């Protein structure tokens, strides 16, 4: 299993009373697979992982693995605020048979580079599983520095990739320069999917792929075929979708609203996140109609 292409950090469907809807999840998994994505990321940011109990994470990952049936890699988000809980979640993921664990930097307290390094080192020593480092400063409040990434990648053969969601092209460029030949560099911001590929990255893990998996996978295929015009046009379209669904509104709610508009059972966000208000819902519905008209 390699780490190349477009991966969908998929949503977790909940019922109106906040319970997991695993039947709906299976339906959505088939939609993403038919859309040609290179793999699925369970229990990530878009999967509302911080709101999931341990047993719920296990159910989600198990359901996805069974539904995918080995056709594409399954990556499980296993990061948490403490090293102890991160190791626990990562062991769960390994036992379930995931291909990679996506480990976000600890959040809430701001940590030093030394503390971040020791955290990842402890996880890597405790669980023998391929690890993808995850940098998402908009949620954690600080950035995983390229130098720390490079040190971890050079010292641990199980560090297989980095998902960088900083949204900063300079950061992606520096990461690709330092570790691009050793590990997979994946953009975590839809605006940088094509730029990251052009800079030597391996692909992207982007929220937009939940709703338009075929558009996103087509961008990657166009890049591989050196069809730069097509890839550029798709990047512009994907960036516009990202502006509405991820930047302008609560992405947890907006992405689910977009999927529901497409008649897919995305369900509801889990509280404290709320469903989109009517004015935002209208904007999402109009976006879907516009994009469908261009396909």
Active site residue 134: yes
Active site residue 34: no
Asked whether 192 and 176 are in contact (CB, 8 A), the reply is no
Q: Distance from CA of residue 85 to its chain's centroid? A: 20
Encoded tokens for 175: 């990461």
The residue from 34, 94, 117, 134 that is catalytic is: 134
Q: Distance from CA of residue 146 to its chain's centroid? A: 19
Q: What are the CA-CA distances from residue 31 to residues 27, 37, 123, 160, 187 (Å)? A: 7, 10, 33, 27, 22
The residue from 117, 120, 163, 220 that is catalytic is: 163
Asked whether 78 and 110 are in contact (CB, 8 A), the reply is no
What CA–CA distance (Å, rounded) separates 248 from 227?
Answer: 30
Mind telling me the catalytic residues? Answer: 134, 163
């Amino acid at each position: 299993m390699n780490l190349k292409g477009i991966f969908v950090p998929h949503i977790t469907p909940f019922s109106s009373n906040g319970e997991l809807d695993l039947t709906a999840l299976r339906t959505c998994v088939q939609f993403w697979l038919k859309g040609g994505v290179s793999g699925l990321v369970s229990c990530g940011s878009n999967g509302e992982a911080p709101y999931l109990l341990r047993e719920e994470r296990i159910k989600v990952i198990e359901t996805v693995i069974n539904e995918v049936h080995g056709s594409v890699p399954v990556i499980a988000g296993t990061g948490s605020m403490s090293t102890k809980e991160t190791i626990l979640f990562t062991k769960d993921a390994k036992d379930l048979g995931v291909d990679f664990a996506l480990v976000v930097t600890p959040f809430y307290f701001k940590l030093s580079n030394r503390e971040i390094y020791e955290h990842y080192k402890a996880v890597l020593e405790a669980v023998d599983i391929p690890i993808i480092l995850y940098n998402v400063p908009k949620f954690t409040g600080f950035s995983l520095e390229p130098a720390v990434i490079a040190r971890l990648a050079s010292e641990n053969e199980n560090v297989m990739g980095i998902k960088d969601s900083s949204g900063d092209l300079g950061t992606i460029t520096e990461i690709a320069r330092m570790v691009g030949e050793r590990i997979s560099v994946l953009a975590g911001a839809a605006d940088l999917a094509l730029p990251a590929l052009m800079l030597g990255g391996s692909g992207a893990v982007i929220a937009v792929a939940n709703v338009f998996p075929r558009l996103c996978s087509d961008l990657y295929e166009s890049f591989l075929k050196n069809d730069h015009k097509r890839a550029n046009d798709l990047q512009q379209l994907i960036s516009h979708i990202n502006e509405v669904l991820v930047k302008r509104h609560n992405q947890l709610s907006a992405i689910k609203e977009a999927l529901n508009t497409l008649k897919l059972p995305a369900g509801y966000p889990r509280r404290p996140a709320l469903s989109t208000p009517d004015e935002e819902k209208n904007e999402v519905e109009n976006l879907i109609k516009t994009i469908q008209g261009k396909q």
